[in-house]
A = this chain, B = another copy of it.
Amino acid sequence: MQFSVYLPPQAEHHPVPAVYWLSGLTCTDQNFTTKAGAQRVAAELGIALIMPDTSPRGENVADDPEAAYDFGLGAGFYINATEAPWQAHYQMYDYILTELPDLIEAELPVDSQRRAISGHSMGGHGALMLSLRHPQRFTSVSAFSPIVNPSDCPWGHKAFSGYLGQDVAVWKNFDSVELIRSGATPPPLLVDQGTADSFLEEQLKTDRLIEVCQQRDLPVEIRYQAGYDHSYYFIASFIESHLRFHARHLGLR
């Protein structure tokens, strides 16, 4: 597995907290690294950025037979696959939750007590879902354009049926809207969603997250941003706001 890390200058003096960034379909660790412009703000705030890949990679790693962009390589969906042949390598849930942090915190001056998580699209699903299942592990969670209800959208249906099999009851354990409906409570949560996002209606369905959070009376902040699309330009425009949100909950200011 390849990943990127940004360490702020403060890490030369003491361990710093980290924001884990989960990217979306087709991405590697490089998309956020080169396109989001997050390092400038992370340097000011004293936050490490941990930027993993979106799936296993390598010679013997299974891929979609037609190399689809939304399944297989580049599309791990941050879950542990149970179905063959995917279960051999597609264990992204464990990788993000424990394997990668254990390595980072053992090898780098990164504080093991203060982690936040964020992501985009499929990575927004990953960030929300992981923080809902392990709220004590993350001081805060944020997402850009997340897939909030993967059990009931084409991207999620394809991924979950492939990686997890046909039992929809199992899928709900990894679906943010269903987790909240069943009583899970996220750490402090911020979401930005562009109104000009071409995936909003069919895949992202932000209103379902708003609705279930209202039903539970959860104090979350979910913002529609007028005119923004699904691209990294959207992320570059608002990443500073997200990092300042995480900094507050990480105890940085």
Chain B residues whose CB sits within 8 angstroms of the CB of A35 once the complex forms:
34-35
CB contacts (< 8 Å) of A37 on chain B: these are 36-37, 40, 236
* Chain B residues closer than 8 Å to A232, beta-carbon distance: 34
**A233 at the binding interface (Cβ < 8 Å):** yes
Tell whether A5 is near chain B: CB-to-CB under 8 Å: no
Residues of chain B within 8 A (CB-CB) of A39 are 233, 236-237
A42-62 interface bits toward B, Cβ cutoff 8 Å, 1 = contact, 0 = none: 010000000000000000000
Pairwise interchain contact B34-A237, C-beta atoms closer than 8 A: no
Instruction: List, in ascending order, chain B residues with CB within 8 A of A34's CB.
Output: 34-35, 232
Q: Which of A34, A43, A232 has the most CB of B within 10 A?
A: A34
Assembly of this chain: how many copies?
2
A: number of interface residues (CB 8 Å): 12
Residue of B nearest to A240 (CB): B40
In the complex, per-residue mask of A173-210: 1 if CB is within 8 Å of any chain B CB, else 0? 00000000000000000000000000000000000000
Closest to A31 in B: B34
**Chain A residues packing against B (C-beta within 8 Å):** 34-37, 39-40, 43, 232-233, 236-237, 240
Question: Which residues does chain B contribute within 8 Å of A43, judged by CB atoms?
Answer: 237
Separation of A233 and B37 alpha carbons in the complex (Å):
8
Contacts of A233 in B (CB 8 A): 39
Closest Cβ neighbor of A35 among chain B residues: B34
Known: A35-B35, A40-B237, A40-B240. 9 other contacts (CB 8 A): A34-B34, A34-B35, A34-B232, A36-B37, A37-B40, A37-B236, A39-B233, A39-B237, A40-B236
CB distance from A67 to the nearest CB of B (A): 24
The distance in angstroms between the C-alpha atoms of A233 and B35, with both chains bound, is: 10
Nearest residue (CB) in B for A33 is: B233
CB distance from A253 to the nearest CB of B (A): 20
Q: Which residue of B lies closest to A37 (CB)?
A: B37
Q: 11 interchain pairs (CB within 8 A)?
A: A34-B34, A34-B232, A36-B37, A37-B40, A37-B236, A39-B233, A39-B236, A39-B237, A40-B236, A40-B237, A43-B237
Select from chain B the residue with minimum beta-carbon distance to A36: B37
A40 to B236, CA, bound (A): 7
